[in-house]
Amino acid sequence: MKDHIPARCPYCHGKARYYFGIRSSIYNHCLECDLIYRVNAQGSDVKVRKYYEESYYDQYTTDQEGGHRQCLNSHILDLIETRKRTGRILDVGMGLGFFLNDAQKRGWQIYGIEPSKKSSEMAMELLGKKVFTGTLKEYKENGNFDVITFINALDHSVEPWREIEYARSQMKPQGLIYLRFPNGLIHTLIYRLALKFKMTNLISKYLVFHEYCITVKYIKKILKDFGFEGIEIANSRPSGGDPHKLFQNEFYTRSIKKIMYAINSIVYILSIKKIILGVSIEIIAFKK
């Protein structure tokens, strides 16, 4: 099976190799730019899009509906406001619009893009204004935004590098981009260790794998390639939610937390404390 996998990176066309398989998906790793991608993700634009348009709402919105994202939203707005005062803000993959609702209360002029029809309808009700149902690629207005956010959205996209490119074209000079996504290095490292120790049944459902596993090295590269500077990367605070309903069994929760902590500690020591270890990472950068 491994022999039939295309071994060229969809981003830089560098040499890629088989990295791991999980359920029916296979992931490759580019040895040059560090992109970890689900094989055939790039060819499945229609399929991925259809999923987010029609099914995503039913599977994951309970996470957004809970109040536990409030702290995360406040943290993100606090962080942004240390660099930018209020202005025009666009949230890509806005879900039900809770983040933008908080931003609006703080005086931001809000705009949202959401591929799920059901989510965007609910967001319109909450925000009392029209949002764009679709993708950033399809958004044809000249946004001239001060800030664009992707909160747990980039790793779901069909081509994340294009999202960065489209975002840049919608921003003012020195505009700020904020990104938050699962730390691809940590999630894939834990899964690969679990494979080695035959613990995948226990651990795989606790890890997050979408179309891409985005690493710090990769995100830095694409931000630089598409004209961003002043890149700052940090571990992101947890959202506190449980969208997959996986942490309801306390025994497993404690075991997994111990395993994650142990692995994090090992990586930390081996990397001489230079590595970003969080399960989620957040990034800000500025358009050149």
Name which of residues 11 to 30 contact Zn ion (CB under 5 A): 11-12, 14, 30
C-beta of residue 40 within 8 angstroms of C-beta of residue 5:
no
Report, in Å, the least distance between residue 27 CB and Zn ion.
13
Q: Which of 26, 33, 72, 179 touches Zn ion by CB under 5 A?
A: 33
Site size toward Zn ion, by CB under 5 A? 8
Task: Please provide the size of the chain in residues.
Answer: 288
Choices 34-42, 167-175, 222-230, 273-281; region in contact with Zn ion by CB under 5 A? 34-42
CA 281 to chain centroid: 9
Q: Which of 9, 26, 147, 158 touches Zn ion by CB under 5 A?
A: 9
- Residue closer to Zn ion by CB (options 161, 286) is 161
Q: Is the dihedral of CA 152, 157, 160, 166 positive or negative?
A: negative
Collapsing DSSP to helix, strand or coil, 20 comes out as: strand
Rounded distance, CA 68 to CA 87, Å? 26
Residue from 170, 192, 138, 139 nearest 20 by CA: 192
Residue 7 in the binding site for Zn ion (CB under 5 A): no
Question: DSSP class of residue 11?
Answer: T
- Residue closer to Zn ion by CB (options 30, 203) is 30
- Residue closer to Zn ion by CB (options 7, 276) is 7
Report, in Å, the least distance between residue 122 CB and Zn ion.
37
Collapsing DSSP to helix, strand or coil, 110 comes out as: strand
Report, in Å, the least distance between residue 50 CB and Zn ion.
27
Residues that bind Zn ion (CB under 5 A): 9, 11-12, 14, 30, 32-33, 35
